[in-house]
Amino acid sequence: MHAGGSCSLQIPREAKDVVSAWNIGRVINCRRVGQGEVNHNFVIGTFKGKYVLRQAAHHRTSAELEFELSYLNYLMRSSFPYKIPSAIPTANGELFIAVQGRFYWLYEFLEGTFVERFNKSRLAQPARMIATYHLLIEKSHLSNGRRHSDLFNRTPVLKEIGDYQVEILRRNRANRDDVTFVKESKILEPMLRSLDESPYSNLRRYPIHGDINPQNLIWKNGMLVGLLDFENVSTTNGPTIRDISQFYNTAFRDARAKYRLDLNLAKQFLLFYKQYHPMSSNEIRLIPNLMIAGFIEDFVYAFWMLRNDPERARGYRLALYSRAAQWSYSNRERIAEALLK
């Protein structure tokens, strides 16, 4: 087997060459996948089938990747009824390999499409999937060895905000994104600091997905069939409710104003979820605060992307993340009350 074939010039040479570690036949085509912000994914076509070559982020360690793959293996052994990535061993029996300081692993391509906009007819299926996933994780003994951080991830986010502010203000010249970041972060900082964790300190925490959003859900023939991108499980410990708050932030935006949550969709989703997974009123009250923290973290991450990978950050709007956080903060009691009804 050899790489060969027709590969996009956007794909690094080492990514083409690394495929030879797997016995998947001669590569006839390959392309870079648009989704994925930290990792790079390449769809590889051979005469044997279609695969995804996943290039892990620079900062990932072998231990983190080993945990992620064991986590996926647990879900498969537990008969999780949805398709998820499953690492294909190399010719030498390894689940991943290292090339030029980056880790690569391979899995069969999961056929399907993404649904960007949700309506009431599409709520029951993701609610059931996420509830099923949470039940399996809650009864597992999986541990990524990480200490529990605060629920709102304040320490690293506030440090990053402070570092960027100092750097920008020291420079003589700032671009539009720099100016927006400084202006909006001064509004967001006190919001993040004010979130109170103490009422929720007894909630159990697990290595959770942490990024369930429309681009990680695979649909086929009107059915939800798969879930992607589990890389956060190796570094994140949080209550399962955090997955729901992230899903709210990405899937249920108001059609007329994206910075607002569509409360009707959010409430209906929760009703479906509770058919399969119990939820306390305390957990529900936490959702708005997790949404606020999530938008602020996304605001900071979007700024990092605009600086470090502007091509893939096209369309990122710092002001929109900030406005969404501010709206959620101003309406957190209203959101909680609506979800508790």
Per-residue pLDDT at 37 exceeds 70? no
pLDDT at 8: 52
Q: Looking at the predicted structure, is the pLDDT value of residue 12 above 80?
A: no
Domain for residue 65, yes or no? yes
Looking at the predicted structure, is the pLDDT value of residue 196 above 80?
Answer: yes
- Domain containing 22 equals 6-108
* Predicted pLDDT at 34: 62
Among 205, 211, 225, which Cα is nearest to 126's?
A: 225
Quick: pLDDT tens for 209-262: 999 999 999 999 999 999 999 999 999 899 999 999 999 999 999 989 999 999
pLDDT at 201 over 80: yes
Same domain, 264 and 285: yes
Answer yes or no: is pLDDT of 10 > 80.
Answer: no
Mean pLDDT (the chain) is 92
Q: Indicate whether 276 pLDDT > 90.
A: yes
319: domain CATH number is: 3.90.1200.10
Give the H or E element holding residue 295: helix 281-308
First to last CA, the chain: 60
Q: Do 48 and 142 belong to one domain? A: no
The band of 147, judged by pLDDT with boundaries at 50, 70 and 90, is: confident
Give the rounded distance of the alpha carbon of 91 from its chain centre.
31
Model confidence, pTM: 0.92
Residue 202 maps to a domain: yes
CA atoms of 155 and 92, how far apart (whole Å) = 42
Look up residue 44 and give its two tokens.
């590889």
Residue 38: predicted pLDDT:
55
Does 26 share its domain with 102?
yes
Q: Are residues 101 and 125 in the same domain?
A: no
At residue 5 the predicted structure's pLDDT band, cuts being 50, 70 and 90, is very low
Distance of alpha carbon 284 from alpha carbon 253, whole angstroms: 18
Considering the domain architecture, whether residues 59 and 97 belong to the same structural domain is answered as yes
pLDDT tens column, 96-133: 999 888 899 999 999 999 998 898 999 999 999 999 99
Given 51, 86, 108, the domain boundary residue is 108
Per-residue pLDDT, 29: 85
Same domain, 157 and 282: yes
Determine, yes or no, domain membership for 325. Answer: yes
Please report, as a single letter, which amino acid is at residue 250.
T
Instruction: Please give the single-letter amino acid code of residue 329.
Output: Y
Of the pLDDT bands very low, low, confident and very high (cuts 50, 70, 90), residue 173 is confident
pLDDT of residue 161: 98
Do 134 and 267 share a structural domain?
A: yes
Task: Clarify whether residues 169 and 310 are in a common domain.
Answer: yes
Q: Are 129 and 245 within one domain?
A: yes
> So what's the pLDDT on residue 93?
97
For range 326-331, the mean pLDDT: 98
Which parts of 56-153 are beta strand (E)?
A: 97-99, 102-108
Answer whether residue 157 is part of any domain: yes
pLDDT band at residue 148 using 50, 70 and 90 as cut-offs: confident
Looking at 108, 138, 165, which one is the last position of a domain? 108
Based on the domain organization, do 199 and 331 belong to the same domain?
yes
Residue at a domain's end among 108, 135, 167: 108
For residue 150, pLDDT beyond 90: no
What CATH number corresponds to the domain at position 72?
Answer: 3.30.200.20
Task: Indicate whether 1 belongs to any domain.
Answer: no
In the structure encoding, which two tokens stand for residue 205, read together? 């925490």
Domains contained in the chain, number: 2
In a domain, 276, yes or no: yes
Do 322 and 176 reside in the same domain of the chain?
yes
Q: How far is CA 76 from CA 136, 184, 236, in A?
A: 11, 43, 20
The mean-pLDDT minimum among 29-33, 41-45, 258-262 falls in: 29-33
Whether 113 maps to a domain, the answer reads no
Least confident of 15-24, 59-68, 117-126, 299-308: 15-24
Confidence class for position 316, pLDDT limits 50, 70, 90: confident
Whether residues 100 and 181 share a domain: the answer is: no
Whether 114 maps to a domain, the answer reads: no
**260-280: average pLDDT:** 97
Residue 4 has pLDDT above 50, yes or no: no
pLDDT band at 141 (very low <50, low <70, confident <90, very high): very high
